[in-house]
Amino acid sequence: MDHQIDVRLSPIVAAVVPCRNRRLKTERFLDSFTKQSYPNLNIIVVDANSTDGTLDILYKKFPSVGVVRTNDESYWTASSNRGVELALAKGCDYVLTINDDSYAALNYVDNLVSLAESNMLKILASRIDFFKAPGLIWSLGSYSSWGSKDLFQLSYHAVWEDALLQNIGGKSFVEIEAAAGNGVLIHRSVFEKIGLYDEVNMPHYHADSEFIMRARAAGILAYATPKVVVYNDFPLPNEAFSEPQLHFKNVFEEFTYTSFNKKSHLLVWPRLFAIQKYCPWHKKIPTYRKAVFLVMIDPIFEKVLTNIMSFYSFILNYNQRFRSMLKKSFNRIILIFS
């Protein structure tokens, strides 16, 4: 799939790239993405007060890239909105949200725009593959299984390309409920109709999915294509995160962060909001119970269970040692009196 678009006829696309303190990844991304073959592409990097020299790289090495500066509290949603606002003000026809830890072929934007234009698709999400394992899918859209704990789940996660294509046949695009925001092409008319991403209720995670859910509720269908791929630099399913892990002093600290920190993917409020707004009425109660309450207490339950098992193991070990000590003492007594 390789389409060349006449610059005189091609829509103007703005790629909005949020970033913060990932200088090496941001530089790697721009080294490649600034070479896209699409003729009418603007790149807007939204930097949330990076302190690692990201801005120096942007200004010195990539002078053609637009830069928007925001503050420390500008997480994915607010940063994306600032970029979208600039794109719309500049008269762009499409906004492409894409992450700075991604990689795409040089004809990626060409192919995505061509598919959207030729089929009049207002929202078109890319297939996302693992950067380290091309062909292993990270997601093709996302979904929420109302009535269960599974909200904002990745579709076809960790499925190989062959299995995906067998499942969907030769389709160039499929309808989706929602999608992660990495590699999503959105026509300006969508923002004009439903507004921007929801900074209040979805400050970091799930604003991308909620935006598409809101669009669908307004009658705008969304699609994902298995044929246009962006590669996500994310740990493979059998790998641990390469970034430093959070360490909590106690279970209460972990619970507080997981449920109430804006950067947690399990933040309570977005889940409550999504259930209230989009979940069918007859499934709200079981969804609140499973997707909010049980998810909140799960870290506590797991920690308590781990402590119980550790204590039980200690008791068993201590009992074995005690019995061994008694046996040795008894044998010594026998030797003394024999």
- Predicted pLDDT at 250: 72
How does pLDDT run across 262-278, given as a tens digit for each residue?
A: 878 878 899 999 999 99
Going by pLDDT thresholds of 50, 70 and 90, the confidence category of residue 156 is: very high
Domain ranges of the chain: 13-232, 244-338
Q: In this predicted model, which residue has the larger pLDDT, 41 or 326?
A: 41
CATH assignment, 13-232: 3.90.550.60
Alpha-carbon span 57 to 78, nearest angstrom:
22
- Predicted pLDDT at 327: 60
Q: Would you state the structure tokens that stand for residue 213, as one six-digit string?
A: 């859910």
In this predicted structure, the answer to whether residue 119 has a pLDDT above a threshold of 60 is yes
HSE-CB at 334 with a 13 A cutoff on CA atoms is: 6
CA distances from 69 to 41, 44, 95, 327 (A): 20, 11, 18, 73
pTM (2 d.p.): 0.84
How does pLDDT run across 73-118, given as a tens digit for each residue?
A: 889 999 999 999 999 999 999 999 999 999 999 999 999 999 999 9
